[in-house]
Structure 1
Amino acid sequence: MCDLLHACEQLSGPIRLRSFPSGARVLQLESHDDALIAVDTLEKVEAAESLAVEELAKQLGISLLLAKERLLVAERLGKVCRDESVEGLRFYPNLLLGRD
């Protein structure tokens, strides 16, 4: 496993190893820009009025971990905001900061 991780750390070119604040690491195309991902995620949240991590994962066909990271990126950039309640974690369009 260490050899694979070391090889991934040495990658250069269109694919790079990305570490999220949660500690998750993924191989990602350099073209996956956080600002573009945040705007796309906001569009998905707006279309549904709100989204849970599970709903976004199913909609995009990605893992729960990646869906959560995608929503957290959009939150960090002010595109969405979260509501944590007994019903779970949901994300809504951020109406306070508006769209850039």
Structure 2
Amino acid sequence: MPIYTYRSTGTGCAHCREGFDTLQKLSDAELNACPECGAAVRKQLSAPALAIGGAHLLSEKRIGEKGFTQYRKIGKGVYEKTAGKGPDIIQGD
């Protein structure tokens, strides 16, 4: 479920003037009033949360298991296979 940020559209309590976060289902109706003081609020646009990382998903073992092939550059126009199926060396003519 996403977390939405709401902020008061005018005067309100300290809770809604500073903005507050609420966990809501996508199907839930948008809040129109502060849950503490009843002042009018509106949804505030905010940056999405991103999961950064995942280097463990790119391990040579996992690449080969999933049917992909990985090459590493070892010279000008020469690549060596590090994982998966395929030729051991690829080089330009």
Whether the TM-score (by the shorter chain) exceeds 0.5 is: no
Q: Which has the greater radius of gyration?
A: 2
TM-score (norm 1): 0.25
More strand by share: 2
TM-score (norm 2): 0.26
More helix by share: 1
